[in-house]
Amino acid sequence: MFSLTTTTAEQTQGLGRQVGSLVTSGDVILLDGDLGAGKTTFTKGLALGLGIKRPIKSPTFTIIREYQEGRLPLYHMDVYRLEAGGGDELGLEEYFTGDGVSVIEWSQFVEDELPADYLMIQLRRMATNENVRQLSFVAHGEHYQKIIEQLEDLNHE
Ligand code: ADP
Ligand code: MG
C-alpha cells in the first residue's frame, strides 16, 4: 500500500494524471470514497494522463461514459445508482476484457462482478481541513503493484 495526502483538487487531479500515464490496456481502477471525496476529480486527471482532452462529466445518471480519443479508451463508471444486483445487466465483463481502462466509482455496489486483479484507490476526507484528502493505493495483483512502485518513484521527495 502507498498513501499520500493532497491539499487541493489540482493535486488530486495531478495524481490521477500520473496514474493515467502508467496504466495499460485492460486495466481496472476502483475508486472508493464518500460523496465529495474526489473520485471524479481524480478521474479527470486520469483522463488527461490518457491524452483525453474532452471534459470528463460525472456519469452519475448515465452510469457509464466512454471516451475513445485518448492513448487508450476510458470507460468511466459511477455505479452508485444501480439497483442492488444490477451489475450483471451492465455487461461489465466486456469492459474489463476490452482494450480500454475501466475506472469505477462506488465499486462496492458491483463487488461480485469485479475481476481478481485491480488497483483500488481509497480517498478519505480529513476532519482537520475540508480540502485535505488522504489517498491510499492498494494493489491486487503484481501488475498493479508495479504501477504503485512507479507512482512511489514519481512522488518521492
Ligand atoms: P466524488 O466524485 O468523490 O463525489 P468530486 O471529485 O466530484 O467527488 O468532488 C470533490 C470536491 O472536493 C470538488 O468540488 C473538489 O474541488 C473538492 N476538493 C477540495 N479539496 C480537494 C482535494 N484535495 N482533492 C480532491 N477534491 C478536492
Ligand atoms: Mg463522482
Report all structural domains of the chain as residue ranges with CATH numbers, in order of start.
2-152 (3.40.50.300)
Question: Strand, coil or helix: what is 26?
Answer: coil
Q: Whose CA is nearest to atom 21 of ligand 1?
A: 9
pLDDT-based confidence at residue 89 (cuts at 50, 70, 90): confident
Q: Whose CA is nearest to atom 11 of ligand 1?
A: 36
Q: Whose CA is nearest to atom 27 of ligand 1?
A: 9
Does 30 have pLDDT greater than 70? yes
Beta bridge partners of 4: 135
* CB contact set of 149 (below 8 Å; sequence gap of 6+): none
Instruction: Give the mutation target among 41, 61, 77, 104 for probing the ligand 1 site: most ligand atoms within 8 A of CB.
Output: 41
Return the sign of the alpha-carbon dihedral for residues 109, 125, 135, 38: positive
Q: What is the mean pLDDT of the chain?
A: 94
Q: Compute, in angstroms, the gap from residue 48 CA to the centroid of ligand 1.
A: 17
Q: Compute, in angstroms, the gap from residue 54 CA to the centroid of ligand 1.
A: 19
pLDDT-based confidence at residue 62 (cuts at 50, 70, 90): confident
Distances (CA, A) of 51 to 70, 84, 89, 153: 5, 34, 30, 22
Question: Which run of H or of E encompasses 84?
Answer: none
Q: Whose CA is nearest to atom 17 of ligand 1?
A: 9
pLDDT of 157:
63
Q: Within 6 Å (CB) of ligand 1, which residues are found?
A: 6-9, 11-12, 33, 35-41, 105, 131, 133
* Cell 462482478 found at: 113
Residues 31-43 have pLDDT tens digits of 999 999 999 999 9
Nearest to 74 by CA among 45, 116, 37, 113: 45
pLDDT-based confidence at residue 87 (cuts at 50, 70, 90): confident
